[in-house]
Amino acid sequence: MSPLAASRLRRSRAVDRLVAALITVGGSSVLLAVAFLMVFLVAQCLPMLGTGSLKRTPPASDGPKPVAALEDEYRSAVTLLGEDGAMHVVPRSSTPRVTHLDGVQPPVRQGRTDAAGTLLALEDASGAIGVWAFAAEVKWHGNTRVIEPSLRKIATKPGHAGAPILAVAGDLDIPAVLVASSKGAMLLTGTDDAPASVELMLPSPPRVGALAADASQAWLASGRELAWYSLAGGQEALLASQATEPLASPPTAAAMVVGDFTLLLGDESGSVNAWQVVTGAVAGSKVINLAGTFAGNGAVRALAASQRDKAFLVERTRGTSIAYLTSRRTLLSVPEFPSDSTVAGISPRRDGLFAVTRAGVVHRWGLDLAYPEATASTLFLPTRYEGFTSPELAWQSTGGSESFEPKLSLIPLLVGTLKGALYALLFSAPCALAAALFISQFAPAALRQVAKPVVEMMAAVPSVVVGFLGALFLAPLLQRHIVGTLALLVFLPVVVVAAAAVWQGAPVMWRRRMTPTRELVLVSALLASVSVGVFAVEKGIERVLFAGDLKGWLLSAAGITYDQRNAVVVGFALGFAVIPIIFTLAEDAFSNVPPSLISASLALGASRWQAARTVAIPAASPGLFAAVMTGLGRAVGETMIVLMATGNTPILSFSPFNGMRTMSACIAVELPEAPYGGTLYRVLILTALLLFAMTFVINTAAVMISNRLRRRFGRLAA
């Protein structure tokens, strides 16, 4: 061999080996891709399992005896009101600053802040109560941001000789202060020029109280009972409580949850109860209802609610923790929480905690609660959301107001998905299986040549087209002809069977002349005439059965409303997409039955139908089953058709005349808008993963069961 040829041979062999390696890598990369897809989606959901974390920052000290404390939303500084009547700004990184507040006579006896962290009510040595507004101004020094907290006096209320200030709330123009009194409590409202006050009656002296953010409701709790007052329009001087509830243990702390429906009440036994006012049995009456309980060790010392969501801080004599109202869970405990803290709170953006000790030492933590609103119980079990009177399964991911709480139950979506798939299969499975049987066993060859490509075309029609026609053509049509359509579904088989019975009685001469093609023509003529006939008498049927108006009848008889885009429309539209899948697989299964078996049974004198019933269908049954399961898999995952033809309302209803929202449609609509990394984003990725798992299970089940059936019927085919 010449040296040139040898080198070329070497090179070709090297190339060959390289290509083989590349192709192996490329081929197995599909496996990697699928594995990666699953692992990646799981990884995107995993953060939801975390319960969050705390990061402690070094404490800072300023020395005064603190009366109240506030934090700005950038967490740049904790602002203390000292007993010395001065504002002490304790920043995270630099030295504290002290500003004396004008007109405050030290010592300050008591102070209280509102839930939103913008108002401060304080009683100084003069005995009057001053209401101050807290603001944090953002200033730019070149390119560095400086936050300057400030307090501004907005109102002065007459003092009540050292009676405790229970709560402060309201807006900056007309703040309201709740002060304990001998008969219950005084609500001081109005402006400085035109002061007003309302006396809230309570049989025993109150220990704690709370006000809604707009001062439209008040709660008072004495050692024995809890009372609720509606203040809307209540200008009378004396106001009795509208609802009361006895208490098991004396209360020690109270806080309103953002949203203003729920009062958190901590007591000496260590439990924190969530109370809510609901409409009672008697019309217009109000009852206080226990919405949740958080047990713990040691008496509750203080409560502080988040301004963003339903998280709250519980300070107990034996440890401090953070809990979440909606999931009724204690998320994490705060280690090294100072036992002598006098004021504590959650940062405005719920990204931090602070606590101030009696000695004026400020402790701070960075707070990350992960995804407290999405837990296994809120996602899959009925949940009592803030303001709900009973646990419910609801999906409502976005809302208008800032205090809106997302409701992320996956059950309505799951039910919607299954409902859509079920109605689709109800229509498409019998239709497709029967069609496959006819095409493979009875049809003239010419029809077989036409039908198969036509069904393949049916599979190729993009689902957006089917959905569009389903929603904008079929839905209005069905709305007008729903009675006729349902009647047709009943009449069609009945008439066909009846016609076959009549045919049996026809003269033998006629029956001999029947060829498969003529039979087909006859059946299509039958179909056409039944359809025309049923729609002609549609109005009559509706008059006789449903008093002339199906929709009105449904509403009055069964309380069912009729949506234009409903499950029947989806059944037909989705059925259109599923029929070709079931048909193709079922037809394959029938074609794979050895023709010799059929011929043998025909030779033994069986009719074509008997051959089909006793030989073809049993032998093909594994394939038929797999076909239906594959169709179900497609129906569960289909997106555009259900997105367009269902109306997309996430309601829990099995009625064929209502719409629904499926998991796939929900992902398509909401995922593009969901902020990356947020709770909704993770929940929707979880939904996608669930959908993946569902179709995986369905497809695998199809393969496994059909394998088992094939083994059982294998002898037949062999």
Partner 1 sequence: MSGLRRWLAEGTAQRWLTAAAVLLALGMVAGLIGVVVEVAGGFFWPQRLVELQLGDGSNVLGEVWDRESDPGSPGMERVRVKVGNRDLFGADFRWIRESDVRKRDFPAGAWLIERREYGNFYGFPIRLELPSATVAVADPLFRTALAREVDGAHDLVREERGLLRRVDRLHAPVAKLMVLVAAAQRRGEDAHALEARLANAQRSEDEATRPIMERLAAARQRLNQARLVMSTADGREKQVPVSAVVRAVPVNRLGSAQKVGLYVERWWEFLADEPRESNTEGGIFPAIFGTALMVVLMTVAVVPLGVVTAVYLNEYAREGALTAAVRIALANLAGVPSIVFGAFGLAFFVYTLGGGIDRLFFSNVLPTPTFGTGGITWAALTLALLTLPVVVVATEEGLQAVPQAVRDGARALGATRWQTLRRVVLPYAMPGILTGAILAVARGAGEVAPLMLTGVVKLAPNLPFDSVPPFLHLDRKFMHLGFHIYDVGFQSPNVEAAKPMVYNAVLVLIVLVVALNLTAIMLRNRLRRKLRGSAV
- Find, among 116, 62, 60, the residue nearest to 86 by Cα: 62
With binding defined as CB under 8 A, does residue 688 bind partner 1? yes
Contact status, residue 567 vs residue 628, Cβ threshold 8 Å: no
In the block, residue with structure tokens 């006050």:
197
With binding defined as CB under 8 A, does residue 473 bind partner 1? yes
With binding defined as CB under 8 A, does residue 620 bind partner 1? no
Shortest Å distance, C-beta 700 to partner 1 = 9
Shortest Å distance, C-beta 583 to partner 1 = 7
Q: Give the CA angle between residues 386, 354, 263 to the nearest 5°.
A: 25
Query: Which helix (H) or strand (E) element contains residue 184?
Result: strand 184-190
Contact status, residue 578 vs residue 455, Cβ threshold 8 Å: no
Task: Mark out the alpha helices in 369-474 (DSSP H runs).
Answer: 376-380, 411-437, 445-460, 463-469
In the block, residue with structure tokens 């969501």:
309
Give the per-residue SS3 of 503-565: HHCCCHHHHHHCCHHHHHHHHHHHHHHHHHHHHHCHHHHHHHHHCCCHHHHHHHHHCCCCCCC
Q: Whose Cβ is closer to partner 1: residue 457's or residue 558's?
A: 457
List 1, 4, 31, 232, residue binding partner 1 (CB under 8 A): 31
With binding defined as CB under 8 A, does residue 395 bind partner 1? no
d(CA 335, CA 320) in angstroms, rounded, equals 8
d(CA 174, CA 169) in angstroms, rounded, equals 9
Beta-carbon neighbour count of residue 341 at 10 Å? 21
Q: Which span sits near partner 1 by CB under 8 A: 198-206, 296-304, 534-542, 575-583?
A: 575-583
In the block, residue with structure tokens 């208008």:
400
Shortest Å distance, C-beta 231 to partner 1 = 44
Q: Whose Cβ is closer to partner 1: residue 416's or residue 633's?
A: 633
Q: Which span sits near partner 1 by CB under 8 A: 33-41, 121-129, 246-254, 268-276?
A: 33-41
Pattern 644-663, binding to partner 1, x per CB under 8 A?
Answer: x-------------------
Q: Whose Cβ is closer to partner 1: residue 169's or residue 474's?
A: 474
Q: Give, as one character, the DSSP assignment of residue 264.
A: E
d(CA 79, CA 150) in angstroms, rounded, equals 9
Q: Whose Cβ is closer to partner 1: residue 151's or residue 686's?
A: 686
List 655, 664, 679, 706, residue binding partner 1 (CB under 8 A): 664
Q: Whose Cβ is closer to partner 1: residue 139's or residue 715's?
A: 139
List 93, 95, 143, 182, residue binding partner 1 (CB under 8 A): 143
With binding defined as CB under 8 A, does residue 527 bind partner 1? yes
With binding defined as CB under 8 A, does residue 492 bind partner 1? yes
How many amino acids of this chain bind partner 1 (CB under 8 A)? 105
Query: Which 3 state secondary structure label does DSSP give 438?
Result: helix
Q: Whose Cβ is closer to partner 1: residue 307's or residue 428's?
A: 428
Strand order in 243-246's β-sheet?
206-211, 217-222, 225-230, 243-246
Q: Whose Cβ is closer to partner 1: residue 31's or residue 194's?
A: 31
Q: Whose Cβ is closer to partner 1: residue 214's or residue 456's?
A: 456
Partnered with residue 169 across adjacent β-strands are 176
With binding defined as CB under 8 A, does residue 144 bind partner 1? yes
List 175, 416, 484, 637, residue binding partner 1 (CB under 8 A): 637
Pattern 578-617, binding to partner 1, x per CB under 8 A?
Answer: -x---x-----------------------xxxx-xx----
- Find, among 363, 366, 367, 347, the residue nearest to 355 by Cα: 363
With binding defined as CB under 8 A, does residue 46 bind partner 1? no
With binding defined as CB under 8 A, does residue 520 bind partner 1? yes
Instruction: Supply 200's token pair.
Output: 């809230």
Q: Whose Cβ is closer to partner 1: residue 492's or residue 705's?
A: 492
Strand bridging mode 195-201 / 238-239: parallel
List 312, 388, 576, 590, residue binding partner 1 (CB under 8 A): 576
Contact status, residue 344 vs residue 356, Cβ threshold 8 Å: yes
Q: Whose Cβ is closer to partner 1: residue 362's or residue 593's?
A: 593
Residues 250-269 that bind partner 1 (CB under 8 A): none
List 1, 2, 3, 26, residue binding partner 1 (CB under 8 A): 26
Pattern 432-471, binding to partner 1, x per CB under 8 A?
Answer: x-xx-xxx--xx---x---x-xxxxxx-xxxxxxxxxx-x
Shortest Å distance, C-beta 519 to partner 1 = 7
Residues 319-378 that bind partner 1 (CB under 8 A): none
Q: Which span sits near partner 1 by CB under 8 A: 112-120, 164-172, 637-645, 708-716?
A: 637-645
Q: Whose Cβ is closer to partner 1: residue 113's or residue 440's?
A: 440
List 70, 136, 643, 660, residue binding partner 1 (CB under 8 A): 643
d(CA 355, CA 57) in angstroms, rounded, equals 12
- Report the largest interatomic distance among the alpha carbons of the chain, rounded to a whole angstrom: 119
List 636, 652, 660, 683, residue binding partner 1 (CB under 8 A): 636
With binding defined as CB under 8 A, does residue 196 bind partner 1? no
Pattern 158-187, binding to partner 1, x per CB under 8 A?
Answer: ------------------------------
Q: Give, as one character, the DSSP assignment of residue 568.
A: H
With binding defined as CB under 8 A, does residue 667 bind partner 1? yes
Query: Which helix (H) or strand (E) element contains residue 39?
Result: helix 3-45
- Measured in whole angstroms, the distance separating CA 689 from the mean position of its chain's CA atoms is 15
Upper half-sphere CA count for residue 658 (Cβ side, 13 Å): 18
Residues listed for the chain: 718
Beta-carbon neighbour count of residue 366 at 10 Å? 14
Task: Mark out the alpha helices in 211-326 (DSSP H runs).
Answer: none
Beta-carbon neighbour count of residue 194 at 10 Å? 8
Q: Whose Cβ is closer to partner 1: residue 121's or residue 586's?
A: 586
List 115, 413, 684, 709, residue binding partner 1 (CB under 8 A): 684
List 127, 503, 558, 707, residue binding partner 1 (CB under 8 A): 503
